[in-house]
């Protein structure tokens, strides 16, 4: 499959891996890139030098292009932005904010910049600032989300900008990819499907929660704090939602989630941890290799798109 996104990314397939905190480390990123997609190292809230080490380890595992995701709430984002240039990273994706202040430096260094947006306004702003493409992410996604669904957001972003659009949120198979292309997207980004991949370092208990999840098993916490996050329901989210209903303040809610993603990903604490996952978790039935995931999804999508 060749199009504007594969031209930009220099990959075989227009498939990008989400930049998920704790999950998107060098082993997963290299596996996705070696399978012909674009692997991503998620800088999340890590110190910049840790990100540099991750980039170096990824280079040892693949000679294919890979990217780094800058989470813009990260207090170390300025340093991560510099390291991306120093290490010659080919592609940057961003999340949870406006990457405007880094755009000129990245563009000057020849980095392909693909901000993740949740609205047409942000997509237009990013195109004006020099973005090469945008990821339009619907609220079906796991983690920090906007308010619009993929089905409504993707065609509106496609109409609002001339740069290519990558669809994210609620995609985990070839039907989802084909549907996104019908809405005008030229690539897809997936998170949850790769959390459950064989090469993902995520604890087996967390992967099992995804594989066993049903359609209605996710919930959005943090709507009262301005940081809505979609994750699978468990004891932590029950307590969180209860506290939110009772009008708990920000610090009280923070106490519940501090370090909770690490608890889930590394320790496999599926009771007190934050199990970030998208609504499409219910569609994921087994742990598969990144190569199998990418080839089956793109083959299925290509077959479906030829029928129309």
Local structure of residue 114 (DSSP, 8 states): E
| Closest residue to ligand TUI in the complex (CB) | 143
CB of 76 to ligand TUI, least distance (A): 13
**Three-class SS of residue 93?**
strand
Measured between alpha carbons, how far is 256 from 176 in angstroms, rounded to an integer?
Answer: 34
Contact criterion met (CB below 8 Å) for 264 and 275: yes
The CB-of-96 to ligand TUI minimum distance in angstroms stands at 4
Binding site for ligand TUI (CB under 6 A): 21, 71, 73, 95-98, 116-118, 122, 137, 143-146, 227, 229
Closest approach, Cβ 248 to ligand TUI, in A, equals 16
Nearer to ligand TUI (CB atom), residue 34 or residue 221: 221
- Per DSSP, what are the bridge partners of residue 92? 68, 113
Q: Please, what is the minimum distance in Å from the beta carbon of residue 208 to ligand TUI?
A: 21
- Of 1 and 264, the one with the shorter C-beta distance to ligand TUI is 264
The residue among 1 and 168 lying less far from ligand TUI, judged by its C-beta, is 168
Between 110 and 226, CB nearer to ligand TUI: 226
How many CA atoms within 13 Å lie on the side-chain side of 253? 22
Q: Which of 56, 3, 2, 4 is nearest to 25 (CA)?
A: 56
Return the number of other C-beta atoms located less than 10 Å from residue 175's C-beta.
14
Q: Which CB, 96 or 114, lies closer to ligand TUI?
A: 96
Q: In terms of Cα–Cα distance, which of 188, 194, 201 is closest to 26?
A: 201
CB of 27 to ligand TUI, least distance (A): 20
């Amino acid at each position: 499959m060749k199009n504007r996104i594969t031209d930009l990314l220099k990959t075989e397939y227009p498939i990008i891996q989400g930049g998920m905190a704790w999950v998107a480390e060098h082993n997963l990123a290299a596996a996705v890139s070696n399978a012909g997609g674009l692997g991503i190292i998620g800088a999340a809230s890590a110190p910049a030098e840790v990100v540099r080490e991750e980039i170096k380890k990824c280079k040892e595992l693949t000679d294919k292009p890979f990217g780094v995701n800058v989470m813009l709430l990260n207090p170390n984002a300025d340093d991560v932005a510099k390291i991306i240039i120093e290490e010659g990273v080919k592609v940057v994706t961003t999340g949870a904010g406006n990457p405007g202040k880094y755009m000129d430096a990245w563009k000057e260094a020849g980095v392909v910049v693909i901000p993740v947006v949740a609205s047409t306004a942000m997509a237009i702003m990013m195109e004006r600032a020099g973005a090469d493409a945008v990821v339009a992410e619907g609220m079906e996604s796991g983690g920090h989300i906007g308010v619009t669904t993929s089905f409504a957001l993707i065609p509106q972003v496609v109409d609002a900008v001339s740069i290519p659009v990558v669809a994210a949120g609620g995609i985990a198979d070839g039907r989802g990819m084909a549907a996104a292309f019908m809405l005008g997207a030229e690539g897809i980004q997936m998170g949850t499907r790769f959390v459950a991949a064989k090469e993902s370092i995520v604890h087996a208990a967390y992967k099992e929660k995804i594989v066993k999840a049903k359609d209605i098993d996710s919930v959005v916490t943090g709507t009262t704090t301005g940081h809505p996050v979609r994750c699978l329901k468990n004891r932590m989210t029950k307590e969180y939602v209860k506290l939110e209903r009772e009008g708990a303040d920000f610090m009280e809610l923070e106490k519940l989630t501090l370090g909770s993603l690490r608890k889930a990903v590394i320790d496999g604490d599926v009771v007190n941890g934050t199990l970030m996952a998208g609504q499409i978790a219910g569609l994921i039935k087994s742990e598969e290799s990144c190569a199998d995931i990418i080839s089956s999804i793109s083959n299925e999508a290509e077959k479906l798109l030829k029928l129309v």
